[in-house]
């Protein structure tokens, strides 16, 4: 009887090994299929993220275009500086600076002051400059940014207006702080889009609600 049992065990061992090997191979094949599927999904996500980022850039470009079109097509009252804001592009900085140099400093200071009083400077500064200007410039031109002080007459009017809105801080410091806030918000917004391709939708909706 013992011999018969041993014989049965011996005969069963190859079959058990075969089943184990088949099971292992099945698991390997299943894992390989799962990895392939995950790679496909990852590729799709990356592709969609790239498309969304391109769409986001296109929307921003279109928004700036619409703002510029509105700015250039709306009727301008002669000598009304309000129509020059927000300043969207570098050539607009040059143009407004030239206008102020023609003995219009007081008029422009009042206009800037009116916009800045609409809220905290970190937000109302967007009524004076577009985000592109705020991101590419700072007061002294440090850290590879362009120098806002180069537009001397505009800068003086801006300082005069800020001193009336933020009398507790030096005007340059208040402006630097406001521009830094805009840069930080833009960096956070970009970080959210990098982490979640659809996050920019929530960010832009929140910005609209706040404004």
Summarize pLDDT for 131-167 with one digit per residue, the tens. Answer: 999 999 999 999 899 999 999 999 999 999 999 999 9
Can you state the angle between helices 199-210 and 171-195, rounded to 10 degrees?
A: 140
Structure tokens belonging to residue 15? 């079959």
Omega before 86 within 30 of 0, i.e. cis:
yes
Summarize pLDDT for 167-181 with one digit per residue, the tens. Answer: 999 999 999 999 999
The reply to whether the predicted model has a pTM over 0.85 is no
**CA atoms of 84 and 104, how far apart (whole Å):** 13
Structure tokens belonging to residue 42? 């990852």
């Amino acid at each position: 009887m013992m011999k018969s049992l041993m014989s049965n065990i011996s005969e069963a061992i190859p079959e058990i090994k075969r089943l184990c090997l088949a099971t292992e191979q099945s698991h390997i094949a299943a894992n390989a299929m799962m990895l392939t599927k995950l790679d496909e999904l990852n590729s799709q996500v990356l592709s969609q993220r790239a498309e969304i980022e391109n769409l986001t850039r296109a929307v921003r470009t279109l928004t700036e275009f619409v703002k510029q079109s509105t700015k250039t097509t709306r009727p301008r009252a002669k000598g009304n500086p309000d129509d020059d804001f927000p300043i969207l592009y570098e050539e607009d900085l040059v143009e407004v600076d030239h206008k102020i140099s023609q003995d219009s400093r007081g008029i422009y200071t009042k206009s800037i002051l009116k916009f800045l009083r609409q809220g905290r400077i970190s937000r109302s500064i967007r009524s004076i400059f577009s985000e592109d200007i705020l991101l590419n410039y700072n007061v002294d031109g440090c850290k590879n940014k362009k120098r806002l002080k180069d537009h001397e007459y505009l800068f003086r009017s801006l300082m005069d207006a800020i001193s009336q809105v933020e009398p507790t801080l030096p005007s340059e410091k208040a402006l630097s702080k406001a521009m830094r806030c805009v840069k930080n918000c833009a960096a956070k917004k970009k970080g959210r889009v990098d982490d979640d391709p659809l996050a920019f939708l929530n960010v832009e909706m929140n910005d609209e609600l706040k404004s």
